[in-house]
Structure 1
Amino acid sequence: MDGTKGDRFRVVISGAGVAGLTLASALEKAGVDYVLLERRDEVAPQIGASIGIFPCSARILDQLGAWKDVKKLCEPLQVFYSRNGKGQLVATPDRSPRLMQARTGYGSAWGERQNLLKGILGSIKDRSRILVNKKVVDVKHDADGVTVICDDGSSYRADLLVGADGAYSKTRQKMWELAESEKPEIVRSDKDRMTAEHNCIFGIAKGVDSPKIKAGDVNTTYDIGRCALTIIADNGTVYWFGQERLGRTHRVGDMPRYTDDDARAFIARNGDIVIVPGTGGLTLADLWAKTVTFRLVPIEEAKFNLWHWGRIACAGDSVHKATPNLGLGGNSAIETAAALVNAINRLADAQNTTGRRPTVAEIDAAMAQYQRERVVRAMGVVDASARLTRLQNMRGLGAKLFVKFVRPRLTEFLPETLSNTMVGAAKLDFLPLPKTSLTGTMPFNPTMNDGVGGSKLHRMLFALPLLALVFIAGSVMDATPVGHLAAAVRDGGVIPSIRDHVPILRSFYHIPSFDDFLALVNTFFYPSMFGTDPAARRQMISFITDGAVLQTIWHFESARRASLLTPMQLPNFFSLLGQVLGLGVVAPVYCFLHYLLTPVELFSALDRRLTNTRVSYASLPAVLLAYLLPFYALCFWPNLVGRQCWLFLWQLYPVWLALVRWGVSKVCLKETMDMDKIQRPLKDLNVMKGYVGGVSVLAAGVWWWAVLGGMQQAGGLAAVLTSVWNTFVPHGLPSWSVGSFERFASEFLRWDQVFAFGSHLAWLAYLFWDMRKVGMLGEGMLKTVILGAVLVPLVGPGATLGIGWLFREHILATRRHKDALTLESVR
């Protein structure tokens, strides 16, 4: 028997795969005694498999000193192509590997599994601890240690046994046997957890010659009941996968076992899958003709509940088995190995400190902590891989709709699927972090494990006050009681209170019913537009000028990368609803949805803050031309009938704004997003400051024009406050003024401003609260709220909104989450 050496904590590792070799290399660097037992006669055999290496595991390999060698032996990924069964593109080519490298410091690569094993093996200095031809046949467990018995009669004694021996783990089987009396329900459940609903043939083809492929290309073919994936390497080497759905769900004891003839039959059925279409293209059958090594297997899926018992723990595929579609199975195994070594190292350190070997209970507690630290992310990988497998096999109506309608619009489907998985990765706590890992635009962050922004339900409940404002505003601003008065004004023929008997314009667009509706809405603006109520006129001009700040912000938010496929991409839709229902009713809806859908964690990648400059740079010109210009014309045009024409025109400003923004973006600006997100994630920041800052200065100037215009006496704070009160503060509910349409209209617009900008200022408070929670608001929440409260009477709500939004933008651009691992935080 090979006993423990002296008083050192000792580990026996079963299995020299990806997880096992990672454990060995990390334990060596931690100074923990171990022995690794491999049942094969060599450590890194060629079994025809390939593997992807992503930033989450590249950082761990870099800590071990293996990444440089592994990277040399793998092909860096460049462009992802998504195709249908005929080879036609279903989305624009995706250059996300370059984005992932900018975000994390590490690129993504693909190569032979054998080369990854060789790279990790090369980081191990003492190879004498790695023993081959050691098949584990039995495990003896007692209070003082664990004994591992091999088929050659040798045995190895240790403090802990780690099973890194794959999906059909012998170690896990022995752990179940030992644990069954204590945890029968968990063991019984785990025994039935591994299933297979698809099979997969994977191979390596050599000498593939096609003008339509180049090194670094990744082609994914989505098809009904089947799919394919190819990774192109140098010198005509192609790593390829073909997959099909099985007729039923298989379980342990019923898993299919395939022969070479079965593989040939698979190609006979699926060789027509198009990898690259057209002359010089490729099909799966073409790759088969050049294949030098292959294997057909069922692809198991499993999420086991029992990761440890007593002095036994499992890692890698033996506790979490994912399908290969996401390419994260091996990466997840490396992460789990790192987390397990962290726990083992803490046990070893405790033994060195106390001089006492850990008890079974202490080891079990350490292994429980290891499982807690890894289970969420590991199971998340299994679930995400399962979803992607079913999407790529177009299983069900939802998957078919996704491929046809959603996937074409998700230009960066893979990096956004993988990003949190990458940056929330485990690391080796006892080894220095490589500088490369600290310089990305999306820093590694160990707290990014539970999904972006936490629970949507919690956010929704927290933001209910914003939603409540919708109903309050709708009740307060209900214009139904004065509908007959508005109709009477419209149908009266002339503007009331105007001596010159200015005729009311009833037709503009020459669509009778539409013109009648707009003419009815126009009546609410008459007191302000024609100056029959001077205070209401000043309030309206300031309100709509403030609206230019709001519109510019909405349009920047619509062009933001983080707003992709959210309602925030539809600012003109919200504006159009605001014209019909009142901006004060619609604005809280916008604010609620924005807060719900864009948590601050979504901006952990600096490029997610970035806007598409082709769109955002056109925002202010569009607001000025389509929103402010017609508004100022309707207020100051010398001809009073002409003012009504401008009012008809302005009522549809969301339509004109959309058209102008589209025209300016198409004619005057170029699409640069592909490079901006990688090399210039702050490109738009100065333009944001100029646009929002400029229109905020205009809003502040008009605010003071309105305040000074309402002063009854010269100077004095009291006179200023009185003017603010008389001009901007509602003097009662609009319903209190039902007897006077002019008074109702004035109060309506005041409440419209209160709800529109009150909800947006509350929205800013929510956003700052989000940033405070993650340590990005160094100024403190109380100071920020007090500053906002001071600014509102000082520069007006519009300018306050602009200043607050720009401050938030500055924080998003320059500060990182409190747990982000950057050069500054690590120092």
Structure 2
Amino acid sequence: MNPPSDFKVIISGGGIAGLTLANILEKFDLDYVILEAYSAIAPPVGASVGMFPNGLRILDQIGCYQAIKDLFGAGIPYNKSLTRDNNGKIISAVNGIFDHLEKRYGYGLFFFDRQKLLQILYDQINRKDRVLLQKKVTGVNLIDGGVDVTCADGSTFTGTLLVGADGIHSAVRASMTALGNKFQPGYFDPIEQDRVPCYYSCSFGIAQHVPGWVSGEQNMVTGKGRSQLVVSGPEGRVYWFMFEKLPETKYGRDIPSFSKEEEIKFVKRNFNVPITENVTFGQVFTKRISSTLTPLHEVVYKKWFFKRIITLGDSAHKPNPIGGQGANGAIESCAEFVNALLRKKDSRDGSLTGLTEQDIEDIFRETQAARHERAELIVRRSHEVQSLFAYRHPVTSAIVYKFVQPLMGDEAVLNKMGSVFVGGAALEKLPVPQRPRAIPFCDELPAKPINKDISKTIRNILVGGMGLVLFATTKGFRLPFSDLSRQAEASVVIRWFSKSAASDFLNMLVSVLAVPILDKDPSARLHLLNFLSQLISPLLVYTIEGYRAGHEGTPLSWPSLFSAGMQAQGIGRMAPLHAILSSFLTHESPTGRFISPEVVRSLIPAITIGYVIPTVMVFAPSPNVKAWQNWVAIWQFAPVLFSMLARIFSIGLQKRKHGYQSPNKSEEELRFDRYETHDVPLLKSVYTYAFAVQATAHIASLAYAWHHPAISIRNTFFGLPNLLGADWSLPSLEAKLAVFFKYDMLFAVAGIFGGNLYSIWDLRRLGNIKTKEAVKAALSVVAGQFLVGSGATWAGLWYWREGKIASLSRAGGNTEGALDL
């Protein structure tokens, strides 16, 4: 047959991938033909489809999104997403799941009949004469300048290239592999097909009007060797997936197919398995409209193309359906294929006529390069979720569902769900409709996110460095307890707890602070003044991070422990420890940044009353020794006092705000407050306060030291004995305590400095800032240590960081990709 004179795409398969691709090609006036094996474009095969934000964004670009929304009318599709145990009891719940997703990504979650999505896609096509039914592909031949496709009815079609969008049992993949083995032996792995695994069988189907079913719920149910995903749909429908682990993993040709008799056995075996506390699998199945039992292949093929043939969708990458990403991934692959096609068109002066095999290979290679890693991620994530729900590793699943997930806030659950969405593709040559969203997709970020392997390396460097600092504290913290006890007995006159061990211990702590303040050498007092003033930022930041929505249920959400640890173990240990924990646990989405405004409003009065005033009084000269020692004793509790006051003040403000509203209404408001940024100005005022106080104290102390003839700035801050020396031979208690505080400050600054630099890297790693911004911020942090002090620098950095993260929330889409480095 003669080669095609004009560019034409032959699409095998009129499913979601094929119809989506046809719609996209029409948008750019590119010729195509769809060859569909069935006699109807939207056959009632009884399957459902879940559409998530990553797929919906592309469908929105081609004009299909509103039709999907219209299926649900004015109602919200899903009110609750519930995780349940094998008895149907609730483990955790996310209320308002649809609204959350829509506010976060601009698009919600829709479960409905696959047939209806096919009809929507078909209705959107203008050239319906290019959609041919009862055209089952049976043969493929490569010809000069094109590809020749034969159908079961004997008809033939010639095009520039062939796209196999014909599912996991792809005839196009089979023909492509055969051609590869014939013309280029070794191109395809000869045993790859035999290594495709199947771990689970799945009963799926559609039921309607199930007694006891709560409309608007999505239920994910755990079990021993089984799991379930059961979701509400429009018109009282219920879509179910019952997954059961095979007795042994099957591969390739050994993967079974199931008869209706085997489906009946499956249903009988699982009939009484609970979905909720009121509904069983059997009750749903009894109300079925349609049902199927099928094996679940899980695969991403190594090579998706050969010569002028490429496979997309399930024929190239097939995940477990528990993640709901099969159709969405297929849509993404279609988008990336057309992106690569149009880039090639641009490079050829706007023409696709006469594409060579090298041109085609370039297009296909770019398509697979853009999608392969992400397809592997989706298949891997879906498999991991299925393994957890089905208790493949019982101990791990038990820990997650009995201990971890019940403690997690809904922000963590939503982030885990959404981590798959944000890396989704979009059509580069079509605008993204303007839809408000709090979390941008990766291609809408200021910069391209950094490779995960590089990110892990940088984090390991931080952890190693902070680990060295923690180890150094074991050598540098040498408190002379016996000398302190004698000093306390001789000079401390207060007795808060009468004559008891508690009083003795408190008085010893009083001596730790009192001795350097009363030292005749002014450098010790000056160093302590500078050091303690810079602790405002650690206290504030630990508290702020503890109240962020994204840190709920993590160790970072316990700021009082870090505050208490500053006194019990020293900030020199808490700073590197907090930096390590933050590198693993810090929220990654803009919505995790949010803090209740009532908490923020409590911070300045709490830090002023709880820490600043006691610190000022400690350094304020007083002839009343007992009164002064009482202030020194109060200071020992200042960090914890600040945490308590912040908590008390914030609760009072929240009660004042919500006191006249019903509890449900206040919870509803708080649930969606995270998508607003009205806490940002308040937070910036806190950072400004902290910066001003700490910078003033730092600059004033350095200026005083500069002009004082008996003080050396170098010796005051850096005059330290050898850390590894066995005996420092210090002459007095004053000297020993001065060295202790110098090392405590040194280790604290190292921990804060390392954490600050990593927080900048974290923004760059996630694509939230550009490289130039990161470098400037890092240099500012270095300079700030000397100019305004570590605490003021931290406050300034967090002021800048807060604005950067908040600015990521967008009023709508962005048609430009993340091209900046």
- Normalized against structure 1, the TM-score is what? 0.87
Equivalent residue number for residue 610 of structure 1: 594
Displacement after TM superposition at 1:728 (Å): 5.1
**CA separation in 2, counterparts of 1:144 and 1:705?**
79
The residue that corresponds to 1:747 in the other structure is 739
Shift of 1:345: 3.6
The one-letter code matched in structure 1 to 2:485 is: R
**Cα distance, 1:654–1:425 mapped onto 2, change above 3 Å:** same
Paired amino acid for 2:422? V
8 A Cα contact 2:590 2:808, kept in partner: no
Partner letter of residue 146 of structure 1?
A: V
Picking from 483, 501, 517, the partner of 1:488 is 483
Match of 2:662 in 1: none
Contact 1:140–1:148, Cα closer than 8 Å, also in 2: yes
Letter in 1 for 2:748: A
| Alpha-carbon offset, residue 624 of structure 1 | 4.4
Which residue of 1 is the match for residue 462 of structure 2? 463
Contact 2:38–2:134 (8 Å) recurs in 1: yes
Aligned-pair distance for 1:301? 1.1
Q: CA deviation at 1:154?
A: 1.1
Counterpart position of 2:658: none
- What residue in structure 2 maps to residue 338 of structure 1? 335
Q: C-alpha deviations, 1:763-793, integer Å up to 9, x for none?
A: 3344335546747369856654665566555
**Amino acid of the structure 2 residue aligned with 1:198:** Y
- Within the alignment, does 1:415 sit opposite 2:438 as a pair? no
Instruction: Check conservation: 2:523, 2:711, Cα contact below 8 A.
Output: no
Number of the residue aligned with 2:661: none
Contact 1:578 1:586 in 2 (8 A): yes
Aligned to 1:45: 43
User: Could you say which residue in structure 2 is the equivalent of 1:306?
Assistant: 303
Conserved 8 A contact 1:272-1:283: yes
Question: Partner amino acid for 1:208?
Answer: V
Which of residues 678, 692, 696 in structure 1 aligns to 2:691?
Answer: 696
Q: How many Å separate the matches in 2 of 1:779 and 1:459?
A: 18
Partner Cα distance (1:737, 1:785) in 2: 39
- TM superposition shift of 1:194: 2.3
What is the 5 A alignment of 1:289-438?
289-347=286-344, 353=350, 357-396=354-393, 397-410=395-408, 411-412=410-411, 414-436=413-435
Structure 1: tracts of 5 or more residues without a match: 496-501, 712-717
1:150-169 deviations in Å (ceiling 9; x for gaps): 11111111221111111111
What SS is found at the alignment partner of 1:146? strand
- Residue number in structure 1 paired with 2:524: 536
Whether 2:558 is the aligned partner of 1:573: answer no
> For the residues of structure 1 that align with 2:457 and 2:786, how far apart are their CA atoms?
33
Alignment partner of 1:54 out of 49, 52, 55: 52
Aligned to 2:9: 11
Moved more, 768-777 or 338-347: 768-777
Q: Is the Cα contact below 8 Å between 1:634 and 1:642 reproduced in 2? A: no
Kept in 1: contact 2:519–2:734 (CA 8 A): no
Report the CA distance between 1:61 and its aligned residue: 1.0
Confirm or deny that 1:685 pairs with 2:673: no
Deviations 1:172-215 (A, max 9, x none): 111111222535374324212322221211221222344x613x
The corresponding residue for 1:499 is none
The aligned counterpart of 2:203 is: 201
Does the CA contact (< 8 Å) of 1:347 and 1:358 recur in 2? no
Give distance in 1, aligned partners of 2:310 and 2:817.
Answer: 36
Q: CA RMSD in A?
A: 3.6
Counterpart residue identity of residue 209, structure 2: G
Letter in 2 for 1:21: L
| 1:699-778 equivalences in 2 (<5 Å) | 699-703=694-698, 706=701, 710=704, 719=707, 725=713, 729-733=717-721, 738-771=730-763, 774=767, 776=769
In the TM superposition, what whole-angstrom CA distance separates every residue of 1:365-393 from its partner, at most 9, and x where no partner exists?
32111100111111111111111111222
Over 3 Å counting, the alpha-carbon distance change for 1:28 and 1:650 in structure 2 is: same
- Which residue in the other structure is 1:176 paired with? 177
After superposition, the Cα gap between the structure-2 partners of 1:758 and 1:253, relative to the gap in structure 1 and judged at 3 Å, is closer
Offset, 1:231: 1.8
Note if contact 1:538-1:727 (Cα within 8 Å) is conserved in structure 2: no
1:589 paired with 2:577, answer: yes
Give the counterpart letter for 2:548 in structure 1.
Answer: R
| 1:155-174 correspondence runs (5 A) | 155-174=156-175
Query: Which stretch shows the higher mean deviation, 556-565 or 366-375?
Result: 556-565
Find the residue that maps to 1:404 and give its secondary structure.
helix
Report the count of equivalent residues.
794
Quote the Cα distance in structure 1 between the aligned partners of 2:100 and 2:709. 53
The verdict on how the C-alpha distance between 1:821 and 1:510 changes in structure 2, with shifts beyond 3 A counting, is: farther
Higher relative contact order (CA 8 A, sep 6+): 2
The answer as to whether partners of 2:438 and 2:808 remain within 8 angstroms in 1 is: no
Per-residue CA distance 1:228-253 (angstroms, 9 max, x = gap):
22222344222222222221112222
Q: CA deviation at 1:337?
A: 1.3
- Is 1:106 aligned to 2:107, yes or no? yes
The residue aligned with 1:90 is 91
* Counterpart-to-counterpart distance in 2, 1:454 and 1:447: 22
Residue type at the aligned position of 2:545: E
The alpha-carbon distance between structure 1 residues 136 and 779, as it changes in their structure 2 partners (threshold 3 A), is closer
Give how far 1:634 is off: 5.1
Per-residue CA deviation, residues 622-654 of structure 1 (Å, 9 max, x unaligned), is 544554455555555765355555555544555
Whichever residue aligns with residue 135 of structure 1, its letter is K
In the alignment, is residue 265 of structure 1 matched against residue 265 of structure 2?
yes
Provide closer, same or farther for how the CA distance between residues 38 and 781 of structure 1 changes in structure 2, counting only shifts above 3 A.
closer
Q: What displacement does 1:225 show?
A: 1.8
Which residue of the other structure, out of 441, 446, 449, is the alignment partner of 2:443? 446
Q: Aligned with 1:374: secondary structure? A: helix
Shift of 1:36: 1.0
Q: Distance in 1 between matches of 2:769 and 2:710?
A: 39
Output the CA distance in 1 between the equivalents of 2:674 and 2:582: 27
Question: Quick one: distance in 2 between partners of 1:733 and 1:574?
Answer: 28
Give 5+ residue unaligned stretches, structure 2. Answer: 656-665
Greater Cα offset, 682-691 or 757-766: 757-766
Looking at structure 1, the residues matched to 452 and 611 of structure 2 have their Cα atoms a distance apart, in angstroms, of 35
Deviation (angstroms), 1:22: 1.0
Q: Identify which range, 296-305 or 112-121, moves more after superposition.
A: 296-305
Cα 1:329/1:400, change in 2 over 3 Å:
same
* 1:740 maps to amino acid: S
SS in 2 for 1:223: coil
Task: Name the counterpart of 2:547.
Answer: 559
Opposite residue 803 of structure 1, the aligned amino acid is G
Task: Tell which deviates more after alignment, 167-176 or 762-771.
Answer: 762-771
Whole-angstrom CA distance in 1 between matches of 2:760 and 2:186 = 49
Please tell me the residue identity of whatever aligns with 1:669: Q
Q: Structure 2: how far apart are the matches of 1:177 and 1:183?
A: 10
Q: List per-residue Cα deviations over 1:733-760 (Å, max 9, x = no partner).
A: 3875612220221232234224323542
Q: What TM-score results when the alignment is normalised by the length of structure 2?
A: 0.87
Q: 1:36 to 1:531 in 2, by over 3 A?
A: same
